[in-house]
Amino acid sequence: MGDSMIDLEGQWDKSAKSATTTSTSATSTLSSSGRLELSSSGALLGASTTIAVAWQELRYSVPGASRKDAPKELICGVSGAVLPGEILAIMGGSGAGKSTLLDVLANRKTTGTLEGSLTFNGTPAAEIGPLLRRITGYVTQEDVFVPALTVRENLDFFAAMTNDSQIPESEKLRFVDELLKELHLEHVADCRIGDTSKRGLSGGEKKRVAIAEQLLRNPKVLFLDEPTSGLDAYSSQQVMELLHRVAARGVTVICSIHQPRSSIFELFDKLLVLKKGRTAFMGKASEAVDYFASIGYAMPSGFNPADFFVDVVLSKEDKDFAAVFEASELRQRVAQVRFFVCFFFAHFFAFAG
């Protein structure tokens, strides 16, 4: 693999540094075959291990409304890749398949039929099995807490339930304190979460607590289903800046999101725009404006890119954006980068059974 493959995606510089650091610090965890060993508990040895996610021609369908009806395909031949340290935003109108694709990538679908390839560091998700849950985090759209508990009590409980039993209790509590500080939750640490019947935290604070719970798992990949849903502009910005800091540490972040403000859009590394379960765009977020202009949809000055892309895709019912993207040069570049991701990470950071 030569430098030309790296040059296909300018953002590789950031991920290459992360991967290089990992390969150096995790050398002792590599077996003679070059594959990462797993501990008896299933956790990856070496906290610095990073994970790239790649998928090719994913198709997900569910049974029809009746036995006579044909299966309904919700995700139709979607491909892509995201590297450690990157944020991938999945966008599209209502019913485009954002949350469905997120669940598929997180390997959370237990019903329906899934076809195609989904790999983590080049290893198929099916081969990783239950261990995948131990190295990934998933923040649902609806926050789930024990409302009578305080923020600290919720996190202490979650830490006790998810972390290795061999880790001293004092170490777990220290980690909780660090998260409270990092996520700017110290001032509400001893406040009850609350719910609709008893007032507690604000929506933005609850979302940060939900993210904190997943960070306690020390995930290598973090999935989030519309993390800004129901939040005001300020809270949404805080949440997404937090995710940007998380990604900067080498975590692979994948989220579905509904038409974020322009300042949030600027935080995305990769963008996947869906229309009826098909790919209208997949690539660097910074290239999306030029891509849509190249197919006849130039964004007017002063527009929010996220609003513009979704509005264009939704308003042009007769336009087959998926077919246009499939035939584009960008689509071929994405395929080459996906191949590189699978080759590089499978060789250096693959899972060992």
Q: Which pTM value belongs to this model?
A: 0.83
Does residue 278 fall inside a structural domain?
A: yes
Confidence grade of residue 165 (pLDDT, cut at 50, 70, 90)? low
pLDDT at 346: 62
Q: Is position 317 within any domain? A: yes
In a domain, 60, yes or no: yes
Alpha-carbon gap, residue 78 to 98, rounded angstroms: 12
Is 191 part of a structural domain of the chain? no
Which H, E and C letters describe 52-107, residue by residue? CEEEEEEEEEECCCCCCCCCEEEEEEEEEEECCCCEEEEEECCCCCHHHHHHHHCC
pLDDT category at 348 given cuts 50, 70, 90 is low
Other C-beta atoms closer than 10 Å to the C-beta of 293 total: 11
Residue 352 binned pLDDT confidence (cut-offs 50, 70, 90):
low
How confident is the model over 202-257, as pLDDT tens digits?
Answer: 988 999 999 999 998 889 999 999 999 888 999 999 999 999 999 999 999 999 99
Q: Is 342 a domain residue? A: yes
Report the interhelical angle of 329-349 vs 12-25 (nearest 10°).
Answer: 10
| Domain range for 54 | 3-144+219-349
The CATH code of the domain that includes 64 is 3.40.50.300
Say if 230 falls within a structural domain.
Answer: yes
Residue 234, in any domain of the structure? yes
Least confident of 30-44, 109-123, 151-165: 30-44
Residue 167 has pLDDT above 60, yes or no: yes
Overall domain count for the chain = 1
For residue 186, pLDDT over 60 is answered with yes
The answer on pLDDT for 14 being more than 80 is no
> What is the reported pLDDT for 15?
42
Tell whether 58 is covered by a domain: yes
* Helix or strand (DSSP H, E) at 278: strand 278-284
Closest CA to 206 of 183, 222, 225: 183
Going by the DSSP 8-state scheme, the letter that residue 157 receives in this structure is H
How many angstroms separate the CA atoms of 153 and 173, rounded? 10
